[in-house]
A and B are shown apart, each in its own frame.
Chain A
Amino acid sequence: MHITCHLRPIELCVITLRVILVLVCGLLFLAPGIWSSGGYATAASVPPSPVQFAQTIHTDALGRQVQLNDAPQRVVSLVPSVTETIYALGAQELLVGVTDFCNYPPQAQDKQSVGAYNSPSIEAIAMLRPDLVIIAADMATPALLQTLLELKIPVYSVYPRSLKATIEMQRDLGAVLGCTAAGATLASQLEQAIAQLNQEVERAGAEAAPRVLLTIMLEPLVIAGTDTLPGEMLACAGGINVATPGSRYPMWNMESVLAFDPDIIIASPHPGTSSPRDFFLRFKQLRAVQQGNVVEIPADWLQRPGPRIIKGLEALRQVITDAVTHTPEKINATQR
């Protein structure tokens, strides 16, 4: 008697639990519609971005077929060079979100930031309710891409790793952002700049091509190889890269610089590091030091595949022609 009295509440609990379980199971089996229609079905039947605009299918840099509104209204750029390109297209009104690294043009920094280039905040992106997010193909982790797609946010990826790809990106971004004409103009400006440089270089002749070291950073000494955007720009401007053909961003040391003894050394000043001139001036026997051909060009002109590439190309050409006209006989004498 005592025992049953003690057990009764427990039994009650067990019975109640069973009833609840049976009910829940019954609901699960009998009305599966509750689960699907409550959450996903609604989302599917009422899309967050109702179709008000005509849509076009674009193929992005990841090879995905992306269906996008012809005129997106709220764009988030997760790529600094894309942000620059959007400003150059005159489409900055559409831009609602950028990254911490989007520092050009200066007014881009007034836009809402969604975090770092490589680790943006998904929540910050979602809060901006974008109808287009532009990402870099090499920075798009599958997880980031998947999450954005699950949130029904259209994603377009770019991968500008060469001059050709940069030209294409400018044209494609114009098409994606509903300003096709501006995109075509921007792309043809760069094409023309390249064509003009090619002519100039051809006129100057191959013997006037100096050997150039293109540094990315000094400590440690990382240089741009031939298979990079800055390397391609250097070749386009008529310089011969001293780096091993086919290389990307190898780490060098001063011994290699002394051994190759380039005619021109190009470096980019970075805040917080020693000045490129001082770094190389320690070695007076370097030809580039003796002839005053240690030159600084801003990193963004050479490394950001955006509209300022043209400035970079012009600066490179200027450096090369200056070096050749000031010391032509010495440079020619060094050709092997």
Chain B
Amino acid sequence: MRPSVRHTYLWLPLCLLFLGGAVVAGLMYGTVPLTPSELVDILLHPQSSGLKSTVVWQLRLPRVGLAALVGMALAVSGTVFQAVLRNPLADPYILGVSGGAALGAVLALTFFSVQSYTVPLLAFSGALLALFLVYLVARAHQAATHTLILAGVMVGSLCTAVLMFLLLYAPADPMRNALFWLAGNLARGEERWLPYGAGVCVILVLLLWSRAGLLDVFTQGEDVAADLGVDIGRERLFLFCAAGLLVAIAVALAGLVGFVGLVVPHAIRLLWGAGHMRLIPAAAIIGAGFLVGADALARTVLAPAEVPVGVVTALVGAPFFLYLLRLRGR
């Protein structure tokens, strides 16, 4: 289980280097080409006007921020779900949160007017509602792993069914918007929400980090946890709620961005071992960097057009992950 010593102290600088590189790439690349010196100049003079300054300050910075936030939230919640459910296929959307959020967003797009805040607000409410439903069911049985998974999948299916039914009655335009929303989009400029989302996410990540030891025990199995005197049901519900809230925020801000939450935790386990003391901060930083970098690539390869970011995350992430899997095994 113990990772090789030479990596033990290197993980933090490596993670930060990756995130830094991704952020620089995210700020430098896009339709408008920038040289490193231009970027530094623009960042040092925030008051200057001009095309490049506007592009960096008004468009790229918020987008990089959003990508980092969403990447962090998804990677950390994915880590927690995989540990608590002891299921390598668990991803942030496994517990029905995505279904609830999607339903909320489609409701907002179909029945409510044009205010830009209705979609994230209703998506968030929908995610919370789905989470609450799963919570109600799971609480009755000490939140046993399979109860959680089944309840989550069922709530998700229920939401999807209602959503499909709604889409049948939705006029063409809201339906098209809803489908695009479901595909995930980092261009949506909800800048006002970003600081609040970031604040709550960081607190949740720190809270989950503080339970790193507990997550390690969960990975060993419930019997071990019970033997060690852990109140399994309560702790699991807490972890589930905190991680679910993270997902709800991510989905409300950017729609359903796939792949990050599934693959980043696995990649980090393969690189630096399964201890959550290191896994959670590493997942947060690498998840943020991965999505920022993928988004930079998505904006650049076909510029002036862009590629959906979910395509890039899977296209770049899956081969790398397969390589890691071949190299290290499990």
Interface residues of A (CB under 8 A from B): 101, 116, 217, 219-221, 243-244, 247, 250-256, 258-261, 270-275, 282-283, 285
Point out the residues of chain B lying under 8 angstroms from A253, CB to CB.
30-31, 59, 187, 299, 306
Q: Say whether B227 faces chain A, with CB atoms less than 8 Å apart.
A: no
Contact of B304 (CB < 8 Å), options: A252, A271, A275, A285: A252
Q: Say whether B193 faces chain A, with CB atoms less than 8 Å apart.
A: no
Are A252 and B306 interface neighbours, CB within 8 A? yes
B83-139: which have CB < 8 Å to A?
Answer: 109-110, 112-114, 116
Q: How far is the CB of A215 from chain B (nearest CB, A)?
A: 13
CA distance A254 to B31 in the complex (A): 10
Are B59 and A272 interface neighbours, CB within 8 A? no
- Cross-chain pairs A/B with CB under 8 angstroms, 30 sampled: A219-B181, A220-B180, A220-B187, A243-B304, A244-B304, A247-B305, A250-B304, A250-B306, A251-B306, A251-B307, A251-B308, A252-B306, A253-B30, A253-B187, A253-B299, A253-B306, A254-B187, A255-B31, A255-B55, A256-B305, A258-B51, A259-B31, A259-B55, A260-B304, A261-B51, A270-B173, A272-B109, A272-B174, A274-B116, A285-B51
Q: Say whether B60 faces chain A, with CB atoms less than 8 Å apart.
A: yes
CA distance A219 to B183 in the complex (A): 12
CA distance A56 to B58 in the complex (A): 62
* Other contacts beyond A219-B187, A252-B305, A273-B177: 15, CB < 8 A: A101-B172, A217-B180, A220-B180, A250-B306, A253-B30, A255-B55, A255-B59, A255-B299, A256-B304, A258-B55, A271-B174, A272-B110, A272-B112, A272-B174, A274-B116
Interface residues of B (CB under 8 A from A): 30-32, 49, 51, 54-55, 58-60, 109-110, 112-114, 116, 168, 171-174, 176-177, 180-181, 185, 187-189, 299, 302-308
Point out the residues of chain A lying under 8 angstroms from B176, CB to CB.
217
CA distance A258 to B308 in the complex (A): 20
State whether A275 and B54 are in contact (beta carbons under 8 Å apart), knowing that A217-B176, A255-B59, A260-B304 are contacts in the complex.
no
State whether A255 and B32 are in contact (beta carbons under 8 Å apart), knowing that A244-B304, A272-B174, A272-B177 are contacts in the complex.
yes
Point out the residues of chain A lying under 8 angstroms from B304, CB to CB.
243-244, 250, 252, 256, 259-260
State whether A250 and B305 are in contact (beta carbons under 8 Å apart), knowing that A255-B60, A259-B32, A272-B110 are contacts in the complex.
yes
Contact of A220 (CB < 8 Å), options: B55, B60, B112, B185: B185
State whether A219 and B185 are in contact (beta carbons under 8 Å apart), knowing that A254-B59, A272-B177 are contacts in the complex.
yes
CA distance A253 to B110 in the complex (A): 24
User: Taking chain B's interface residues, is the majority helix, strand, or loop, or is none over half, making it mixed?
Assistant: loop
Contact of B51 (CB < 8 Å), options: A217, A220, A259, A273: A259
CA distance A138 to B31 in the complex (A): 33
Are B32 and A258 interface neighbours, CB within 8 A? yes
Interface centre among A244, A258, A283 (most CB of B within 10 A): A258
CA distance A319 to B235 in the complex (A): 63
Are A285 and B54 interface neighbours, CB within 8 A? yes
Are B51 and A272 interface neighbours, CB within 8 A? no
CA distance A215 to B10 in the complex (A): 48
Point out the residues of chain A lying under 8 angstroms from B114, CB to CB.
272-275
Query: In the complex, what residue of chain A is closest to B177 when comparing beta carbons?
Result: A273
CA distance A271 to B176 in the complex (A): 11
Are B113 and A272 interface neighbours, CB within 8 A? yes
Are A256 and B303 interface neighbours, CB within 8 A? yes
CA distance A17 to B31 in the complex (A): 77
Query: In the complex, what residue of chain A is closest to B183 when comparing beta carbons?
Result: A220
State whether A250 and B177 are in contact (beta carbons under 8 Å apart), knowing that A101-B172, A258-B51 are contacts in the complex.
no
Point out the residues of chain B lying under 8 angstroms from A251, CB to CB.
305-308
CA distance A220 to B176 in the complex (A): 11
Are B306 and A272 interface neighbours, CB within 8 A? no
Are A285 and B49 interface neighbours, CB within 8 A? yes
Are A258 and B180 interface neighbours, CB within 8 A? no
Are A219 and B306 interface neighbours, CB within 8 A? no
Closest A-B pairs by Cβ, 4 of them: A250-B305, A256-B304, A270-B173, A256-B31
Point out the residues of chain A lying under 8 angstroms from B187, CB to CB.
219-221, 253-254
